[in-house]
Amino acid sequence: MNAPAQLHNLGQSLWLDNITRDLLDSGTLARYIAELSVTGLTSNPTIYDKAIGGSAAYDAAVRSAASRGLSAEATFFELALEDLTRAADLFRPVHDRTAGVDGFVSLEVSPLLAYDAAATAAEAARLHAAGGRPNLFIKIPGTPEGLPAIEDSIANGVPVNVTLLFSPAQYAACMDAYTRGVERRVAAGLPPYVASVASFFVSRWDAAIASRVPAELKNGLGLAIGAKAYADYRAYFASDRWGRLLNEGARPQRLLFASTGTKDPAASDVLYISGLAAPHTVNTMPEDTLLHFADHGTVPGALSADPAGADAALAAYEAVGIDIDALGHELQVKGAQAFVDSWNSLMGRIETKAGQVAAG
């Protein structure tokens, strides 16, 4: 049994943090599903900026969109939805087999809307309807302004992947927003289950503090913050509040570990896979990380739901001057800006390619 299958059997879903048309056309994604236990997929503006810029696979579709006078943004969503609905269909057997728990793909709303809750919720509903697939998540950032959009989207039955969560405080606010959305559905007499995951970013913590901590604390904060998120997740959804919702037929929002590619070349290339094995969760990983894990990964054991170990580990970082809440806020702001930068690059790339293919 390969390492991805072992992780899957432990109870963690393996998702691929990548999408390209070549990945679909070549049958590679189908092979990952069959051989590497991949049961879902995530995308973001950075991934699509690289995919469209690095391949001729999108030229014909860009040419078609340009001939119809579509804007760069409209062109992107047409291309992305074509890819993601194809991927969603590949994962549909998983989605059906798990009764809607697994087998999802994710599409992000424009990051330019990150601080406009009403516009984000409206766009999330539009994109989900345009996709026409029950296993399509719409990604909404877990910024303070994004939280009302998350609550409203869940209340309106739109499956949501909450992105850009870094700190325990941000994650707690996300779980509350999801729960309020579910409670509104129960109060309205609507089916209470609307699928959702909370994407908690881990590797960027270690990159941010690499020059600020002693050698023995390097490349450990991401694992500690991930373990803390897992303990918080298990405790939150075991509460009396959630006991009542479970009785109504609701299901917890699953914790998803994101940003799990190792940034430090001196560290293990599967650091955030082996170290964050946990049942009832998802780990979405870059393609090269998935292949490294399949080649030489191990599953040493599952994370503990007891917060004591994670709290002690985080205390060691606080003792050397790392302010978890302040750094989490900084990482979320920088992460949101990075997606805006990628989005703007993506729009420029589409406009350039539209001109090139039209001239060709």
Domain range summary for the chain, segments of one domain joined by +: 3-359
Q: What's the predicted TM-score (pTM) here?
A: 0.96
Reported as a single tens digit per residue, the pLDDT across 4-42 is: 999 999 999 999 999 999 999 999 999 999 999 999 999
Below-70 pLDDT ranges, the chain: 357-360
What fold, for 3-359? TIM Barrel (3.20.20)
Q: Using CA atoms of 220, 225, 231, 235 in order, give the dihedral in degrees to the nearest 10.
A: 170
**Phi/psi of residue 106, nearest 5 degrees:** -130, 135
Sequence-ordered list of residues with C-beta below 8 angstroms from that of 344, at least 6 positions apart, any chain: none
pLDDT of residue 214: 95
Judge whether 6 and 295 are in contact, CB under 8 Å.
Answer: no
Active site residues per annotation: 139
pLDDT of residue 330: 98
Alpha-carbon radius of gyration of the chain: 20
Residue 143 has, within 13 A of its CA and on its CB side, a CA count of 21
- CA nearest to 270, candidates 279, 257, 281, 280: 257
Reported as a single tens digit per residue, the pLDDT across 261-276 is: 999 999 999 999 999 9
